[in-house]
Amino acid sequence: MSVPRRERRAAREGFSLLEVLIAGVILAAAMVVLLGSVSQSLSSGTEAGRHDEARQLAADQLNRAAAGDVPATAAGVREVGGDTYTWRLDRGSAAPGETIRCEVIWHHRGDERRISLERLAPPPGAGP
């Protein structure tokens, strides 16, 4: 008994169930990798934002110290977007040419992060 030509041709066209399952597994694996990359990218962007916030805080405090707006040593806390940044400023005598230093500390995922900026105290009347 022979299979009609029309049924043989229909059996050869299209994909088998096994081919569809394999394609689905490959697609799912690719999606997992892609979502992992997106997640890592978002995490890196968030950490970069925190680092930039800490850098800006340190720069602001250094400028205030150079202008003489803060005592020789000062410390404080700033809350930004649910994150806590602790800063410490050491102006020393703040004589012209001496180093003014500001350190900012914050925590991310249980790890302590810190940044430290320094600048020279300006000569009298030079401004920040």
**pLDDT of the residue at 110:** 84
CB neighbourhood size of 5 (10 A): 8
pLDDT at residue number 22: 95
What is the per-residue pLDDT for 17? 92
pLDDT value of residue 66: 80
Block means of pLDDT (10 residues each) for the chain, 128 residues, are: 60 83 95 92 88 93 84 86 90 76 90 92 65
**Whole-number pLDDT of residue 98:** 83
For residue 19, what are its two tokens? 């081919």
**Ramachandran quadrant class, 18 (left: phi over 0; alpha: psi -120 to 50; beta: rest):** alpha
Full-model pTM: 0.66
**Could you give the count of Cα atoms lying within 13 Å of 108 in the half-sphere of its Cβ?**
15
Strand partners, 67: none
